[in-house]
Structure 1
Amino acid sequence: MIKLSTAQLWVHDQDAALDFWTRKIGFEVREDVTVPEMGNFRWLTVGPVGQPDIAVVLMAIPGPPMIDAGTQGEIANLMGKGFAGTLFLTTEDCQASYEELSSRGVEFTEKPEERPYGIDCGFRDPSGNSVRLTQVRQMATV
């Protein structure tokens, strides 16, 4: 059986991303390891409290030789537009979560709104990644 364990978001600054995802969103650190043998590569993951089998890698954009400077710039450009990655989060009460996260300083790009699939809103992390927060409604089956 294949299971999802980890997703990745590109980030400009791992420390700023760590602060945002832990202090503002409420995720917990899963791993924070620096590997000297790989040029001090930092493997940094966070995840939702109570969901230990899922993690999000907060991945700094590597430079040469892993990624050429042109590609590095393209990734950064897409991040700035909110199109380098999207994370979809669910909640039992979208309005309450919106209010709580807003009080912690999360700046939303969209307020909670009724959709065919539930109540949905959006925000971006400090690197520009798009995040959707949804209170999912059971869809009718045909």
Structure 2
Amino acid sequence: MIQNISLVTVYCLDQSATRDFYVRHLGFEARVDATMGDFRWVTIAHPAQPEIEVTLMTPGPPLSPEAAGFVRGQLESGQMGGLGLKVDDCRQTFAELSAAGVAFIQEPADRPYGVEAVMRDNTGNWLTLVEPKAFTPADLAKF
């Protein structure tokens, strides 16, 4: 039986730089950095959810060359999604991360589900910061 989600993947162009971005700016912890032949396995995790590791993968095997090229192009053009990150105060987190040089593509805005801001990691992945609030499906229909 499945017990939980333990691993998710975020594609990046430079595993070391992306790991450092998540650790330095977002409070994640470096976990695994191992080389297995030509393959480098790099993971991070947030200390509040240590059971979920994020694998930082470069576009390459096991993807086909065509698929890897597509993913690389999406990263380079800023078209890849990344993670949704829950925050306790979206506006304050936005101010802190902006002051630290993190690039935002959407300032905090009220949404039916809470306050949301959208930023980019160092590779261009979209990361959504959400300060959640209670909502119903009917609230979303008004949006």
Normalised by the length of structure 1, the TM-score is: 0.87
Asked if 2 retains the 8 angstrom alpha-carbon contact of 1:79 and 1:85, the reply is no
Q: Distance in 2 between matches of 1:78 and 1:22?
A: 23
Asked if 2 retains the 8 angstrom alpha-carbon contact of 1:6 and 1:54, the reply is yes
Taking only the aligned residue pairs, the percentage that are identical comes to 35
Q: 2:96 aligns with which of 93, 100, 103?
A: 100
Aligned-partner SS, 2:98: helix
Number of aligned positions between the proteins:
137
Deviations 1:26-58 (A, max 9, x none): 1111211122xx32x111111112211111111
Report deviation, 1:141.
Answer: 7.2
Does residue 1:110 correspond to 2:111, yes or no? Answer: no
Deviates more, 1:42-51 or 1:127-136: 42-51
Q: 2:124 aligns with which of 115, 128, 133?
A: 128
Asked if 2 retains the 8 angstrom alpha-carbon contact of 1:109 and 1:124, the reply is yes
Look up the equivalent residue of 2:134 and give its one-letter code.
Q
Report deviation, 1:86.
Answer: 2.5
Q: Distance in 2 between matches of 1:75 and 1:125?
A: 16
Unpaired segments ≥5 residues, structure 2: 139-143
Look up the equivalent residue of 2:95 and give its one-letter code.
E
Deviations 1:93-131 (A, max 9, x none): 111111121122211111100001100000111211111
Residue 67 (structure 2) aligns with: 71
Aligned-partner SS, 2:107: strand
Asked if 2 retains the 8 angstrom alpha-carbon contact of 1:10 and 1:85, the reply is no
Q: Distance in 1 between matches of 2:77 and 2:137?
A: 35
RMSD of equivalent CA atoms: 1.8
Report deviation, 1:25.
Answer: 1.3
Look up the equivalent residue of 2:81 and give its one-letter code.
G
Q: Distance in 2 between matches of 1:16 and 1:136?
A: 29
Normalised by the length of structure 2, the TM-score is: 0.86
Question: Where do 1:17-96 residues align within 5 Å?
Answer: 17-35=18-36, 38-39=37-38, 41-62=39-60, 66-96=62-92
